[in-house]
Every structure is written in structure tokens, then in C-alpha cells.
Structure 1
Amino acid sequence: MKQKTTVNIRETGKRTVKLEALAIEGLEQFINDDFEQTVNLVAHCRGRVVITGIGKSAVIAQKIVATLNSTGTPALFMHAADAIHGDLGMITPDDVVLCISKSGESPEIKVLVPLLKNMGNTLVAMVGKMDSYLAQSAHFVLNTTVSQEACPNNLAPTSSTTAQLVMGDALAVCLIELKGFTAEDFAKFHPGGTLGKKLYLKVGDLSRMHQVPKVLLNSTLREVIVEISSKMLGVTGVVNEKGGLEGIITDGDLRRMLEKNMDATGVKAADIMSRNPKTIGAGELAVNALELMREYDITQLLVMKGDQYHGIIHLHDLIREGII
């Protein structure tokens, strides 16, 4: 392998992106009757989608399997080479089999296809050559033909594997819409990590970790300072005798009052509180609290359950949980 010394790296990178973009753009014409029937077939399948392939196509198959599983369509990966050495046993009569191949002529594919058809499963081909053995043998074909690989030798799977990936995404997205798969459904399959927390973590889950700072309207300045200090949130809610929220006092409010050289004698909570504080329901998603904080440029919200003051959610809570 002889290294070239005159390669324009930026131009090569741009050319690669353009060639693969053209390959993706060309896929639109292949969203046809076979594609639609495949989506309906998978949507009404009583089993799983078993996806198989060899080489780079096998890698793409694993990604499509992961996408389908995470969006409510049960799927399994079966390596085409391992299939004839026992892995065919993972296929049940109700499964749909999707076989991915650029050429549709790989030796492993030619051995596998007759076995699959003998088992009676519906076979879908995702293939780049419509006159290939695989395309001619399948019940339905997802056409991923590309005019040129991004590889300068037009050999290494580049544009073709990108096309396979996008066609798999198109299949998955259609299934999401057809099944009415929601963000709440997505959260059930992604409970871990930041993504999961954004989809399921509620404001009340975080606010209950703190004590609830609150004072009455007629609480003294000393009582307000002690409450803010002891609960260590830099803020307290102000409530009436029935527990209804009347306002908020922050440590900033206290500083501003003292800077004005006010006579603190006889000062009550009602005298220094801010009315109509920003609030959020305990049942709201924590990520919604973050959006409100950003909108109003504040670091905490008062949490409500119905018309009752329930506690505080602070920006630090969201940082700690990785919401930001």
C-alpha cells in the first residue's frame, strides 16, 4: 500500500459527504409498494423481526435491531454465517426475516435463503441489486441500490451501508407512527441514563429529597432567616393559615432589604415576599422545570400539588441528575 502525499483531506471529506448524501437522496424513489407492505407486515407480525446479514451488512443489521427494539418492535440479530450452524433455531414460525446484503449474491446468503424459505417464514430482502439471487428469492424487497460507493475505488461499502442504515430508520419510523409509539412508551425502554431521566423523572421525585421551607405571612424576619438557613435552599415559600401559597422570599430578597437600611423591627414575611412566584406541578417532568428556569432566568421553582405548596426544585437537583 503506497501512501499518497498530495491528498487534499478536506476535499476528500467533502466529496465523501456529498456522495453519501446523493445516495440517501436516491432512496426516496424506492419507498414503494414493497416498502409499504413490509411495514404493514412487521406491524402485524405476531413474532419478532429476525435480521440477518454478512460482513458490513451484519453490522448494519445489528443497529437496525437495536432501533426496532427500542421503539417497540421486538427484533433479533442472526449472523448469516452462524445461521447454518445452529442459529436458525432462534426463528419461530411467526417471525419475519429481513436479510441485508449489498450484492445479494454472497455464498452465505445463497445457502441461507433456501433454508429460510423451507421454514415458511416471510422473507424480506434489503439489497442493492434487484436482479440478484436474494432479490429474486424474497417475498418483498427494500431496494438500497446506490450508483457509487464513496470509496475512491468504488469497492469498500460506504454509500451502500449508509443507504441500508437509512432504509432501516425509515422502516422503524414508519412503525413508530403506525403503532402510535409515544415518548412515554420510549421512556419505558430507556430507563437508564440522561435520556431516560428526561423522559420519566418527575419534579416531585426531586423535590421530595428536600425539606419544605415555608413560613407564614406574619412570620418575623428572624423566623424567615432561620427557615431559609436551616433548609439550605436559599429560599422559602410563604403560605397562609390554610397552607395556600402566597409568595416567595429568597436570600436575595433579604439582602436587598438590608441594603435599603430598612428598620427591621416588626418586619413580617408578608412585607418582603414576592407575590405570584413561578411554580410547577409535582407531576410535571423535571426537564420541563429546566425549561421554565431557563425562560425566567431563575434557579428554583416552587412545587405545587393541586393548590397546595409542596416544596422546592432547584437547578442543582437537575444538574445532579444529569438533566442538564
Structure 2
Amino acid sequence: MILEVKDLTVSFATDGGVVRAVEGVSFSLGAGEILAIVGESGSGKSVTAQTLIGLTRAPNTTISGSVRFDDVELTDLDDEGLRGVRGERIAMIFQDPMTSLNPVYRVGDQMIEMIRAHREVSKREARERAVELLRQVGIPNPERRVHDYPHEFSGGMRQRVMIAMALSLDPDVLIADEPTTALDVTVQAQILRLLDQLNRERGLAVVLITHDLGVVAEIADRVAVMYAGQIVEEATLDELFYDPMHPYTWGLLGSLARLDTPNPERLAQIPGQPPSLLHPPTGCRFAARCPHEFDACAEPPPLDHDRCWLEPDDQRRLRDVDGRIGLRKPVVAR
């Protein structure tokens, strides 16, 4: 495995108390693999991703656990050591390309600055590299567009620029945080095809952060489902879509419009709201929203494929009550 995360916990001291944004998160990533981390907004996906490369370090932040990249413990590195990893070995595409690019600098100048910060090359060589990267990600007339400002690109093209910048130093791991947010479906499909192509051609390992299970179905190999700062289920792509086990995962899948079933009067939805991470529940964090809650849920369940006290046979029976995936009526407490 090129990246191994074990028992990662991240909390922030605020005026209102300590926010436990990520708690006990563990996963691994192999070379050439695409791991999707999915969940509602506020579930801890982006905090997890940013912590991997040291972007959440601050005086009010407490981080524990292990993040090992290529047998190097990243949590032990100082800021100087992280600069040798960030961008060069692990690159990140941020959620909003418009705010990630400096609006007063030309796109090419921003790419050149990044390349020359890590490589001893001339400005001309860095510019040639920038032009070639823009060509690789499908931007037409890269020799001309390299001189344009971010506002002269469409949303999809700006996202391609961000991907080009992330690839400029040939990283081993790419973290893509909501790379298709606010893009129309045709541009979204183009970005996903580009990420899939880069994964296959370069053997690039990808951590894909998203709330869109349609995006996950396109390119992911494995999926980690996060809820309230914890991973509640980890599965292969086929397992997630054909044999999901955690009730929260059923809710996410049940909220999708499907073409292979009769149209319901309305889409299923997960009732309630996620818990406050200032005061998270002591037991199962999904219990208050789960119609299958029973006595054991007062204790925190361990993560064994999924974080649920229901037995696998009961999970499948409840999940498949009328042939549709979604939250169902409660069972009698045992």
C-alpha cells in the first residue's frame, strides 16, 4: 500500500467547545487504485483529506493517529518536510477552482511558479511543461491559453487547469476534493473520464472526495462511507451498490433516482439531521436517524466492514423489504 491511515482523529478547539471533526478513521490506498470517500456535507471528508498533507495544522488543532505514505510517517514531519511531499508526491485538487486560482495572475504564471518551487528548471522550460500539461488535460490552444487569466476560463476548464497543476510534478497520489461540484453533467463526465484516464495511464492513486454516488459509480474501485466524522462502511464498488450493509448507506442509495424500478411518488430521504460534532452521541452516531435502532445502539459499534450492531442477515432482510434500497420501518428492539 502506498498510503495507510490508521485511527486518524482530528479535533478543533472553538469558542463553543471542541469539535471532533474526524474520529478513528482508517483506510489504505494502493498504487493505481481509486478510493472514494462519500458522505453528507459536514461528515469529515475534506478534513480527513486535508489532514493527510498537513493543511489542518493550527494552534487550535489536535491530531492523533498515523498517516504513512511510502513508509514515511507524515504526522511526524515538520512544515519543511511536508513541503517535500505536498505537491511533489501527494497533490490535491480543491473543491472550488475559482477560489483556488489567484485571479490576478495568469494561469501559466501560477503553474510556472509551482514547478520552479520544486524543480531546478528555467522559466522557459517550466512554461513548456505548463503548455504540455494543459494539452494533456484537454485544453485547446494551450500555447495561447497559458497566458489567460482564470476568469477567462469556464468552470470545467478551470477544473482542468487545477488538474494540470496537480499533475505538474508527477505525484504518486492525487486527492480530488469534490472535483465535479457545480459543473453541468456533460463537463462532469469529461472530468471523470480525464481522472480515469490519468489513473489508467499513469498508475496514479486517487482519493476521490464526493457526496455524489453517481460519480462514485463511474470510476471508484473501493468506497469508504463517512458519517459524523467516522467511517461507517468500507466496501468494493460492487459490494456498495449490490450488497450495502449499513442503514446510512441504504439511505444514500435510496435517495437516488433509478431507471430500473418503478417511479416512486417521491424519493426516499434520511430523516433528521447529522449530530453536532461538539457533542457527538456516545453510542452509534446514526442511531437517532435510523428506524432500526435497538438497545445495543447505545454502545459505539466497531468497524467490521460496517459500523452497525445488526447481524448481516438482519441487515439484508431489512434492506430488501420491498425490493428497493432505502430506510424501512423499525424492527422490534431485541
TM class, shorter-length = under 0.3
Q: TM-score, normalised by structure 1?
A: 0.23
More helix per residue: 1
Q: RCO (CA 8 Å, sep 6+): is it higher in 1 or 2?
A: 2
Q: TM-score, normalised by structure 2?
A: 0.23
